[in-house]
Amino acid sequence: MSKVFKYLLNLIPRPLLIRLSYWVRPFIALFLKGKNFTDPIDGKSFRSFLPYGYENPRENVLSPSTLSLERHRLLWLYLKNETDLFTAPHTLLHFAPEQAFYKRFKKLKNLEYTTTDLNSPLADVKADICNLPFEDNSFDVILCNHVLEHIPNDTKAMQELYRVLKPGGWGIFQIPQDLKREKTFEDDSISDKKERARIFGQYDHVRIYGRDYFDKLRSIGFTVEEVDYTQILPKEEVERYRLAKGEIIPLVRK
């Protein structure tokens, strides 16, 4: 079964996959029900998670119930345990809303919740991150995760994120990152999709971020905290929740 899902998950365009998943995932979750691994987002347990990835698929990472990946589960735990996002009043702007979070955030009475993206069927506002249709200082919290690696002019995108965040506000801007790489790598001359996928990890990525990502955010004006939350969590939870050990959560403030 894992080979079939590996093929389908990489073949189907993401917007269509989101729509299909609503009726497919209950059957997958039932088939994989067990006690080995737990999705902390909904508390359901399975004998294994599904594989996921483009060039180099990762085994046992995609939750059958919420369709969350390692980064989503890490972010959920951090938001629940370390912030007041679920309890205090906030205006929240969420880019490319992840299916694992969308309905859960939408149900929270304390949030004034706005979603945005150019293509996602879950987006309230269809918008270019480099030219946002929001006034300055509009949002208390911004979640923009695994978006900036798709944006050619990420400097402009970061400036827009800074512009619409309220003073004293905070955000989390996760990206796929090679922490062994000091400098971010990008090369616009690589146009072949297969070659881009081989080099950047996905055909629609335009760069591989290095550790200098945090300093770039700082250069825009953000205060940045590099949070390695897997170092704080018990080792057994890191394994049970299938988190990526050492993944950094970029917590920004204005």
Domain limits, the chain: 2-67, 71-253
User: For 36-44, what is the mean pLDDT?
Assistant: 96
* Closest by Cα among 92, 32, 23, 55 to 242: 32
pLDDT for residue 17 is more than 70: no
Return d(Cα 159, Cα 221) in angstroms, integer: 9
pLDDT attached to residue 204:
86
**Lowest mean per-residue pLDDT among 52-56, 132-136, 216-220, 250-254:** 52-56
pLDDT band (50, 70, 90) for residue 160: very high
Which one has a higher pLDDT value, 19 or 216? 216
pLDDT for residue 78 is more than 50: yes
pLDDT attached to residue 159:
98
Is 221 in contact with 162 (CB distance < 8 Å)? yes
- Using DSSP, state whether 167 is helix, strand or coil: strand
**Lowest mean per-residue pLDDT among 39-48, 71-80, 100-109, 194-203:** 194-203
* Neighbouring C-beta atoms of residue 66, cutoff 10 Å: 24
pLDDT for residue 16 is more than 70: no
- Averaged confidence pLDDT in the chain: 89
pLDDT attached to residue 233:
97
Return d(Cα 162, Cα 59) in angstroms, integer: 36
pLDDT band (50, 70, 90) for residue 93: very high
Q: What is 13-82 written as a DSSP string? A: -HHHHHHHHHHHHHHHHHHTEEEEEE-TTT--EES--EEE-SSSPEEEEE-TTT---HHHHHHHHHHHHH
pLDDT for residue 30 is more than 70: no
Percent of the chain with pLDDT over 90: 71
User: For 169-198, what is the mean pLDDT?
Assistant: 91
Give me the CATH code for the 71-253 domain, please: 3.40.50.150
